[in-house]
Amino acid sequence: MSEIEPSGALQHRSGTFVTLPSELWVHVIAQGGPALLPLCSALQKHLRCAIHQSSELYRALSRACFTVTHALAWRDVFIECSSKWDSQKPLRSWAGQFSPSYWTSDVNHRISYAQFWSPGSKYVFQPFTGPEAVEVGPTGVVFARGMPSYSPLSVTIKGHTDPTGEFWDYPATHATEHEGPETLRRSWCTSRMHHSNVGLLVDLGTLALVTGVGVVNPADGFDCPVKLCLAFASMDDPGGIAGAMRRAARYMDGGRDARARATVTRLEASSDQMGKWDAWGRSPAEAGDPCVAINFPEPPACDGMHIVRACAPTAARWLHFLIVSAYNPNRHEEPNVDVCKLQVFGIPLAQTEERTRWGALVDEVQHERETVWGQPGTSAAK
């Protein structure tokens, strides 16, 4: 046999294992005799265990680093999330404020930002810290020179807690519109007496690695700007706005138990130093916990203010905004909530979307096999 040139099907190329049809493997094992059977059985067991343990490793890393709840190919999902996070500069927390002059503020008192408009594109916020970073375009628009820019993800509203819509000229869709130079003049105004624990659920359209959340308060002519807003990210549909509100119930009113209040306080005080995926500076949110807390100062400081809060990279398809409270400086007897923009920043995960589509079902089947048969499932172990 050693003098016979192996066929192309049996040649070892580029480190790939010899590929044979199942019926030929039967003949190969038969040539080895009865003694080969227990060896093959033991090898099969070890291979299955190794594959299963590898899957468990990537499952643990994917969940710990990116809050992936289910997947079909854990290794591939982890590699794509890591690659996306590593290849793009992480979003950093910052704040700025509008002013009548080209939407810029006093650089001596607070971080400023400006925006650059282009036909048909989303507005892009760009932070800067001093006049040396300012550049004036031909149309008089002020923007930051040499600073990273971020566009919010496109989202679709799937529900909110103000179906009455008393102020029909100021619908919820205004809060998620990011197109055109007039968009910042459009705000969402909830009905009177709907001034706390206001929820809005959005669908990101595809799985994304959420890196931060932004809120813009109206600049002028609105009396009840946002005070505290929480954001909850999820891979799974929470069950509409009703389900999302049930999940977030413990965080209403700023936290209805000691743990919830402590979580909000921790998020508000989190370090803004965001590095690579393995050193992001803050822990990912636990299941059911908010990933971001945005707290605005009192009026008039919050008028026209835009705050972006970065978060640990979180794989999500859905994001629930919970406006916990709003200011009422004019002491209206029937206050509401006025918010200009609610934003989600992140990186789309097209490949991971496909690999997680059936992940929940596969994980359920695998768990059943392990429970009933005591065998490690291999259908999702890749």
Q: What is the pLDDT of residue 356?
A: 58
Q: What pLDDT digit, counting tens, does each position of 29-82 carry?
A: 888 888 888 888 888 887 777 766 678 888 888 888 888 988 878 888 888 888
Q: Is residue 314 part of a domain?
A: yes
Contact predicate 65/277, CB 8 Å: yes
Does 143 lie in the same domain as 50? no
Structure token pair of residue 135: 């550049």
Same domain, 121 and 173: no
Domain assignment present for residue 10? The answer is no
In terms of domains, do 142 and 256 share one? Answer: no
Residues 31 and 157 in one domain: no
Residue 380 lies in a domain: no
Q: What is the CATH number of the domain that holds 305?
A: 2.60.120.260
15 located within any domain: no
Residue 221 banded pLDDT, cuts 50, 70, 90: confident
Question: Does one domain contain both 165 and 97?
Answer: no
Q: Measured between alpha carbons, how far is 97 from 118 in angstroms, rounded to an integer?
A: 21
Buried b (16+ CB within 10 A) or exposed e, 79-96: ebbbebbeeeebbbbbbb
Helix (H, G, I), strand (E, B) or coil at 364: helix
Q: What is the pLDDT of residues 200-217, one digit of tens each?
A: 999 999 999 999 999 999
Shared domain check, 157 and 68: no
Cβ-based neighbours of 73, under 8 Å, separated by 6 or more: 355, 380, 382
285 and 165 part of one domain = yes
Residues 129, 186, single domain; the answer is no
Strands in 235-381 per DSSP E: 292-295, 305-326, 338-339, 341-348
Q: Where are the alpha helices (DSSP H) in the chain?
A: 22-32, 36-66, 74-87, 240-247, 258-268, 350-356, 359-372
In this predicted model, what pLDDT tens digit does every residue of 102-113 receive, in sequence order?
A: 333 332 222 233
Shared domain check, 260 and 226: yes
Spatial contact of 215 and 152, defined as CB atoms under 8 Å apart: no
The answer to whether 251 touches 261, Cβ cutoff 8 Å, is no
What's the pLDDT band for 151 if we cut at 50, 70, 90? confident
- Domain co-membership, 107 together with 126: yes
Do 173 and 75 reside in the same domain of the chain? no
DSSP state of 86: H
Find the helix or strand (DSSP H, E) in which 127 lies.
Answer: strand 124-128
Q: What is the pLDDT of residues 263-305, one digit of tens each?
A: 999 888 765 444 444 444 456 777 789 999 999 999 988 888 8
How confident is residue 171, by pLDDT bands cut at 50, 70 and 90? very high
Domain count, the chain: 3
Task: Look at residue 9 and tell me if it is in a domain.
Answer: no
